[in-house]
């Protein structure tokens, strides 16, 4: 396997560096917006699934369990898994972007993002900063657990009836 050496061309003009820095920060902000939109989308889908199952089962008893609950819950579990993977992907993308931001800041007279990261303990001290992603990645698994419960309940009900 051939190893590729990473080289970053460095602009000579400070104004050019600042322009690149501003553009790059705007791109990082847009990724955060897309991430939030994706989370809202998946949260809505899961809320609809859970609500639909609740609505459909209102007033029914165990012996009249619908076998489609198992299929709907499997779909919900798959959606939750993709939601989790998407959050991980956005996390990795943002991490890479901020590594580049820190590299650009080395060429500037001040480095606000690196200074902020330093004051927050570089993400290692939970008393100073708990990354949003740590919390955010738990939400799909909470819904995943609800879908598993519905899945097993529907299987048990099918076997009993």
**So what's the pLDDT on residue 82?**
93
Q: Is residue 128 part of a domain?
A: no
Q: Is residue 142 part of a domain?
A: yes
Q: What are the residues whose beta carbons fall under 8 Å from the beta carbon of 25, sequence distance 6 or more? A: 101
How many angstroms separate the CA atoms of 70 and 97, rounded? Answer: 41
Number of compact structural domains in the chain? 1
pTM of the predicted structure, to 2 decimals? 0.69
Q: Is residue 120 part of a domain?
A: no
Q: Is residue 8 part of a domain?
A: no
Q: Is residue 2 part of a domain?
A: no
120: three-class secondary structure by DSSP:
coil
Residue 64's pLDDT band (cuts 50, 70, 90): low
**So what's the pLDDT on residue 55?**
53
Count of residues making up the chain: 161
Look up the domain containing 57 and give its range: 14-105+134-160
Q: Is residue 111 part of a domain?
A: no
Q: Is residue 119 part of a domain?
A: no
- Placement of tokens 């809320």 in the chain: 47
Write out pLDDT tens, residues 80-132. Answer: 999 999 999 988 988 898 888 888 888 877 788 888 888 888 888 888 887 77
Q: Is residue 113 part of a domain?
A: no
């Amino acid at each position: 396997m051939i190893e590729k050496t990473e080289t970053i061309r460095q602009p000579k003009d400070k104004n050019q560096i600042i322009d690149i820095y501003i553009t790059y920060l705007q791109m990082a902000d847009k990724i955060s917006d897309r991430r939030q939109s994706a989370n809202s989308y998946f949260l809505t889908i899961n809320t609809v699934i859970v609500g639909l199952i609740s609505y459909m089962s209102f007033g029914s008893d165990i012996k009249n369990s619908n076998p489609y609950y198992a299929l709907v819950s499997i779909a919900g579990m798959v959606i939750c898994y993709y939601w989790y993977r998407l959050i991980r992907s956005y996390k990795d993308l943002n991490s890479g972007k901020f590594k580049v931001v820190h590299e650009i800041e080395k060429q500037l007279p001040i480095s606000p993002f690196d200074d902020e990261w330093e004051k927050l303990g570089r993400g290692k001290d939970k008393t100073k900063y708990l990354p949003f992603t740590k919390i955010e990645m738990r939400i799909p698994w909470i819904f995943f657990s609800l879908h598993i419960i519905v899945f097993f309940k529907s299987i048990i009900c099918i076997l009993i009836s």
